[in-house]
Amino acid sequence: MSTPDIDASVRAELTRLRESIDNIDAAVVHMLAERFKCTQQVGHLKAEHHLPPADPAREARQITRLRELAESANLDPAFAEKLLNFIIAEVIRHHETIANESSNV
């Protein structure tokens, strides 16, 4: 939605900032894709060796680590924890699927 009464310099700054946001969003998606490639490999390794899909001790360490990283980056640690918990839940779901598929082979 374009607002005609916005000063051209403000519009240019908004465009510049939004382009940066779009680039960052793309980087985040690509980083998540790389992360999930690694966790898929972990899932296959766990399934092959009959290890449980979840590792609560590691997850707790990762949450603590991510909260500390968030604090040092001036990001809300609670938000970072929610994000990691969401990612972990998806990883565990993938690991369960991999385990189920490998037990059916």
Q: At what angle do helices 77-103 and 56-72 cross, to 10 degrees?
A: 150
Q: What is the pLDDT of residue 103?
A: 86
Q: 2 by DSSP, 3-state: which?
A: coil
84: which residues sit within 8 A by CB, 6+ positions away? 62, 63, 66
Q: Which two tokens stand for residue 39?
A: 């966790």
Q: 43 by DSSP, 3-state: which?
A: helix
pLDDT digits (tens, 9 = 90+) for 2-48: 566 889 999 999 999 999 999 999 999 999 999 999 999 999 999 99
**Does the structure show a pLDDT above 60 at 1?**
no
The mean pLDDT of the chain is 94
**Percentage above 70 pLDDT, the chain:** 95
The reported pTM is 0.83
**Does the structure show a pLDDT above 70 at 49?**
yes
pLDDT digits (tens, 9 = 90+) for 75-97: 999 999 999 999 999 999 999 99
Residues 62, 88 contacting (CB under 8 angstroms): yes
Pairwise CA distance, residues 39 & 75, whole Å: 25
